[in-house]
Amino acid sequence: MEVSEKTVNKTNKNKRLLEDVKARFKMLLLGKQGNDGFILRFVIYFLLITIGFVYLYPVLYILAQSMKSLDDLLDPTVVWIPKAFHLENYITAWKVLDFKRALTGSLFNSVLPAIAQTISCAIIGYGLARFRFPGKNLILVLMLITFIIPTQVVMIPLFMMFEKYNMLGTPLPFILPAMLGMGIRSALFILIYMQFFKGIPTSLEEAAQIDGASATKIFTKIVIPISVPAIVVVYLFSMVWHWNETYTASLYLGNSMTTLPIRLQIFHDSFSKMITSNEIQQGANINESINMAGTMLVIMPLLILYFFAQRWFVEATDKTGIAGE
C-alpha cells in the first residue's frame, strides 16, 4: 500500500509539473490574456517591419541610385551600395533645379498658405461646431460640394479672376483663398476641426462664460491651447499638399515664380538648356542617378520637417484619429 501511495503521489506530482509547464508555455506563446504573447508580438512586428519596408523602399532606392556613377549604373553587379559615392550628381541636380530660387518659391507657396489655412479653418470649424444659426446645414452641404468638385472644373474661372486682379505670378492665388477657408482641401480641415471641437467638454466654455469671458476670448485662451493636436495635423497636411501642388502652381505662377516640384517636372529640359556644347562633346548627359539626386533634393525638406516634427505629428494623429496620404 505504501509503495502504491508513493507511486500515485509521484504520478500526480508529474502531472502537476506537466500542467505547469504547459501553462507556462501557453502563457509564453499567447500571454496572460492573449494580448502580449510571443505569437501576437511576432505577427505585429512582422507586419510593422513589412509595412515599414514597403514605405522605406522607394526612399532607400532613390538614395542608393542617386549616389551611383555612370559606371555603377552600367555595372549589373552593383545593386544597392555603389563602389564610390558620386556626390557630383547632387551638385549637378542642385544647379539644374535652381535650388535656392525654387526653394524660396516653394516656401512662399506652402508655408504661408498653410499658416493662413490653419487659422481660417480653425475659426470656421469652431463656429460650425459650437454655434447654431440659420443656414448652417446649407453651409455644410456647400462646403462638402467644394470638396467633391475636381479642381480642374473651377481652374479656368479662378485663373480669370486672379488675372483680373493682377495676382498671377505671386503667391496670392494660394494665400488669399487659404485666408478665407477656401484653400486646398479646406473642407477636410474644417471637418477635422469640427470633430475635434465637438470632443471638447462644453463645461469649460460655460465656466468661462460665467466668469464673463467673450466668445473670442474663450476661443483664443481655452479652445486653441487644447486643440494643439488638431492644429499640428492640419498645418502639416496643408503644407505638404501645397508643397506638392504642381498643376495649379504652374498655371498661376507662370514664369515669375517656380517651385521645386515644378522644376523637377521640367528637369530634363532644364538640364539640356544648362549643359554646354563642350560638356556634350565630353560625353556629359543626364542619367538616372542625376534624376534620383534631383528627386531626393525635392523631398529632402519634407523629410527634414518630419524628422523634427515626428513626435508631435504621431501624437497629434493618434489623438485626432486622422490618417494621412
Q: Which residues, other chains included, contact 86 with Cβ-Cβ below 8 Å and sequence gap of 6+?
A: 67, 68, 69, 72, 289
Residue 127 φ then ψ, to 5° = -65, -40
Q: What is the mean pLDDT of residues 170-185?
A: 90
317: Cα separation from own chain's centroid = 11
Taken in order 63, 64, 65, 66, the sign of the CA dihedral is positive
Mean of the per-residue pLDDT values for the chain?
82
Q: For the CA atoms of the chain, what is the radius of gyration?
A: 29
d(CA 309, CA 324): 15
Provide the percentage of residues in the chain whose pLDDT is more than 90.
25
CA angle in degrees (0–180, nearest 5) for 236-240-243: 140
- The answer to whether residue 268 scores a pLDDT higher than 80 is yes
Global confidence as pTM? 0.79
pLDDT at 113: 94
Mean pLDDT, residues 250-268 taken together: 88
The three cell numbers of residue 200 are 471638447
Cα–Cα distance, 258 to 98 (Å, whole number): 9
Picking from 186, 228, 201, the residue whose alpha carbon sits closest to that of residue 320 is 228
Grid coordinates representing 110 are: 506652402
Would you mind telling me the total number of residues written for the chain in this entry? 325
